[in-house]
Amino acid sequence: MHFSVSWSGGVKIGDLRLSLAPASSGSGHVITARVTDYGLFKAIYPVDDTFVTYLSGSLKLPTHYEVQQIERGKTVHRLTTYDQHKLEVIYRKENKPPEVYPMAGSVYNEFAAFFITRVLRMRMDPQQFIPAFVDKKRYLVPIKVFGREDKNSIFGVVNTVKVQPKMAFKGLYDKDGDTIFWLTNDACRVPVEIRSKILIGSLVAELVEYANPACTLRKKTGK
């Protein structure tokens, strides 16, 4: 999936590429996300961030999470290990000593939680929760389903499900509010738009490329 990222739906500031694929080891899956700058934003705040999450088991729980962020010419590497059996998270930044955090149960990270949300039963009641470990703490994130909504997309006008994880943390890029995304109302649950509030305005990610042989959705020609 390739998203074009803009500030408040106006000027484009970057790109987000997101993929889910079988792990090369033959066991589990890997989520790879890459965020890059675009246009004038490249000169103001250059960004080239890569996030890799390794998943295991039928619940697609994360086992390892690697982050490499290149911002303003500075490279930072982080590694998080999730021991879902011992119920602890081990976090390490660069060559600093590891930090160990206990957790009260199994957890997802932000990327794994995004993918697992797409397979939930999209019902308004009762409310569903996803356990997430973010900012050194375990949260039970309520998933609010607003209902169905027609929305313009690369596939034309499609019926979507409007979903909001009620996040009580800032997480990636210091979000200052809730994130809302629109999933196609079909078996594929393709995210056609994502909106995240930040300190000033919002980040809007609109889907511009999508490829999945298992889905019949096709990009509208001429758009």
Confidence of residue 188 (pLDDT cuts 50, 70, 90): very high
pLDDT, position 130: 94
Domain extent for 57: 2-209
Residue 173, pLDDT above cutoff 60: no
Q: Is residue 13 part of a domain?
A: yes
Confidence of residue 61 (pLDDT cuts 50, 70, 90): very high
**pTM of the model as a whole:** 0.88
Q: Is residue 44 part of a domain?
A: yes
Q: Is residue 222 part of a domain?
A: no
> Tokens representing 96?
């600093």
Q: Is residue 220 part of a domain?
A: no
Going by the DSSP 8-state scheme, the letter that residue 220 receives in this structure is: P
Residue 176, pLDDT above cutoff 60: no
Contact 71, 77 (CB under 8 A): no
Q: Is residue 141 part of a domain?
A: yes
* Residue 72: C-alpha distances to residues 33, 67, 69, 143, 203 (Å): 19, 16, 10, 35, 19
In our burial notation (b when 16+ CB lie closer than 10 A, e otherwise), range 30-58 reads bbebbbbbeeebeeeeebebbbbbbbbee
Residue 3, pLDDT above cutoff 90: yes
Q: Is residue 105 part of a domain?
A: yes
> Tokens representing 110?
């932000």
Per-residue pLDDT tens digits for 129-149: 999 998 889 999 999 999 999
| Torsion, CA 117, CA 211, CA 61, CA 65, rounded to 10 | -110
Contact 154, 180 (CB under 8 A): no
Confidence of residue 16 (pLDDT cuts 50, 70, 90): very high
Amino acid at 59: L
Q: Is residue 215 part of a domain?
A: no
The residues near 130 (Cβ < 8 Å, ≥ 6 apart) are: 108, 113, 116, 117, 120, 140, 141, 143, 165
Q: Which of 40-44, 59-63, 164-168 has the lowest mean pLDDT?
A: 40-44
Q: Which position has the higher pLDDT, 170 or 139?
A: 139
Query: What percent of the chain is predicted at pLDDT more than 90?
Result: 65
Domain count, the chain: 1
Q: Is residue 116 part of a domain?
A: yes
